Amino acid sequence: MKRYFKVNAKCGHVGRRKFINIDFTVVASNAKEAAAKTRMFGRVKHHYKDAINSVEEISLEEFVELANALNNDPYIACDNIQDQRRIENIYDRISCYDDYDDERRDRCVEYKMKKQKILERTVRLNIREFAMWKTKKQRHKSKFSLDSIIEMGEFVKIKKDKWISLVFLFVC
């Protein structure tokens, strides 16, 4: 049996942690199916648990009226960011998530920095151990120097998004 639903969903592509509420029209057998169909529409925030705000059953007249309004919505019709910027009063329609946790982000960055330091220490320790092994193997009593390590292998420094990783490639 065909039933008509109005599904209010959070739509994206308007900035990080931001959304626009849009009422979609869906033909489905029950509300759960209508919500599932809407979640798969373009622009809807698929990965958010609370992407679907509400599901209401409506009459055929309301369905047609809402479908026409949706077809005339410039946000739904735009294909790229330039079209989206040309929409008048688009910024009045944008909402922000209130639950963004700056403290959680800071802990995450702190953890990554700590992990990076541990990685660098491990690489330095491995370089020293390799140098000592190589010098013992060659029966040299010379002290550890970075130049001798560079001669023994290739020392590569990778810089990626302000994180510096030291990688030592052994050439034996």
Q: How far apart are CA 23 and CA 119, in angstroms?
A: 50
6's enclosing H/E stretch is strand 3-11
Instruction: Decide if pLDDT at 61 tops 90.
Output: yes
Domain covering 3-96 in this structure, CATH number: 3.10.20
Q: What is the pLDDT of residues 103-126, one digit of tens each?
A: 666 677 788 888 888 888 888 888
What residue ranges do the domains of the chain occupy? 3-96, 102-169
**What pTM, to 2 d.p., does this model score?**
0.57
Q: How far apart are CA 51 and CA 71, in angstroms?
A: 21
Q: How far apart are CA 132 and CA 60, in angstroms?
A: 82
